[in-house]
A = this chain, B = another copy of it.
């Protein structure tokens, strides 16, 4: 019961974070969407920052589950492409929580949350292996530092190009994903 209630809370937080971001999301809103009183929320989570942290842990678990599901025999480059595709699909579906990279109180909470840090490290390690493997076999540019590539992949989860193209209304979600996937891996220059 308690676990189910907390899952419902995190689910609501996840969608609100995806829709309006951390600053615009209010705790009153969360409570209203869950259907309980605000004071009850604070019995489950000690602060707004902890709500966001819990949502990020949930998102990281989803990501890990997706990584696990990728077929072993897939090439490293294709694995990375699939991850980026999945990330952008999540974002377009309103399932990808987005946090401000500046808010200091939030950063402090995240750094203190073991589940978050562990999840982040595990995902990064897995992606790092694939990046290095892809570079070793020459499918990803070996001149780029692996860390820069990792950040570039992560950045697709908060790329404003997706929402701008979506607002334009000229392209389907699938087309948007294909476009940004192309600019990410193939670049803007003609090949």
Chain A residues at the B interface, C-beta cutoff of 8 Å = 20-21, 23-24, 77, 80, 100-103, 138-145, 147-149, 151-152, 155, 158-161, 163-165, 168, 170-171, 179-180, 182-191
Contact = CB atoms under 8 A, between A and B. Distances in A.
A130 to B, nearest CB: 12
Give this chain's copy count. Answer: 2
Given A158-B160, A160-B101, A77 B148 contact: no
Contacts of A151: 160-161, 164-165
A144 B188 contact: yes
5 residue pairs, one from A and one from B, having the closest CB atoms: A187-B187, A186-B187, A23-B23, A151-B161, A151-B164
A140 B189 contact: yes
A185 B187 contact: yes
A2 to B, nearest CB: 33
Contacts of A184: 183, 187-188
A100 to B, nearest CB: 7
Given A155-B159, A159-B155, A149 B190 contact: no
B142 A190 contact: yes
A152 B102 contact: no
13 contacts: A24-B100, A139-B190, A141-B186, A142-B190, A147-B165, A148-B165, A148-B180, A152-B183, A155-B159, A158-B160, A184-B188, A185-B189, A187-B187
